[in-house]
A = this chain, B = another copy of it.
Amino acid sequence: NRLNIPFEKRMELSTNSIAKKLFNIMATKKTNLCLSVDMTSSTKIIDLLEKVGEHICLVKTHIDIIEDFSDNFIMQLKQLATKFNFLILEDRKFADIGNTVSLQYTKGIYKISEWADCVTVHSLPGEGILKALNSCTNTGSKGVFFLAEMSSEGNLITHQYTEATVKMAAKYPDLITGFVCQKKETFNNPGLIQLTPGVQLDSSKDDFGQVYNTPEKVVLENGADVVVVGRGIVASKNPEAQAGIYKNTLWKCYMKRVSG
């Protein structure tokens, strides 16, 4: 059972280089908090990361919402990633035919493949999407978090969809870092990472269908390895303090899980 194996051990079972790195960072920094920096100002993102970088294993970006995006922002982000030892996940949710996705991943203003350690990908378009990403060889070490479930109310993902997603991923062991999902039953492979969004301490939903659970619920009951927190931290009055609180709470839950 992957849930009881410590991250140090699971690292050795990973076939994707980014999964190995992320397990290692979590074990070393003792944090499984992924901060979703859903803010539209690059300066504010950099300022926040300077303060909370020590608390996180992964930063999740929506690069296309940043109003003052520049190559300099990417440079600063990478410097912070090195300074604080965290990885970068661009939450692009690729969802097109393979040919289009390979262009979206490597070209344009953002050139995601050049700076993101990993990206999120929907399985909806079929296997061509993974085949295309896999063939983008301009980067060495890269990873995919494959969406097997979503956090939002009324989403159209069925059990069959999730199963087909996990099956599709199994053909690309070098590429797949893990799954974005909500349930521990979704997959078994201990070398893969369960990334779970939809977590907030002070709220149970937003106005557009987002559903929140508690850290205890997602880590202990639902099998989350890395937990994504966005507005719970970035929209709070004191993001720095909140980041510390989420980090400690989430790590305690993980410790309880592996020791129990």
Interface residues of A (CB under 8 A from B): 38, 40, 62-67, 69, 91, 93, 95-100, 102-104, 107-110, 122-129, 131-132, 135, 150-158, 160-161, 164-165, 206-210, 231
Contact = CB atoms under 8 A, between A and B. Distances in A.
20 contacts: A62-B100, A64-B104, A64-B108, A65-B108, A66-B109, A67-B107, A69-B109, A91-B96, A95-B95, A97-B208, A98-B210, A99-B207, A109-B109, A125-B150, A125-B209, A126-B154, A128-B153, A129-B208, A135-B208, A156-B165
B156 A208 contact: no
Contact of A156 (B64, B98, B110, B123): B123
Contacts of A91: 96, 100
A103 B40 contact: yes
Per DSSP, chain A at the interface is: loop
Nearest 3 Cβ contacts at the A-B interface: A128-B209, A98-B208, A126-B154
Nearest to A161: B156
Contacts of A62: 100, 103-104
A50 to B, nearest CB: 22
Given A40-B108, A155-B126, A99 B210 contact: yes
Nearest to A155: B126
A56 B110 CA distance: 29
Nearest to A96: B93
A156 B151 CA distance: 19
B122 A124 contact: yes
A128 B103 contact: no
A64 B164 contact: no
A14 to B, nearest CB: 26
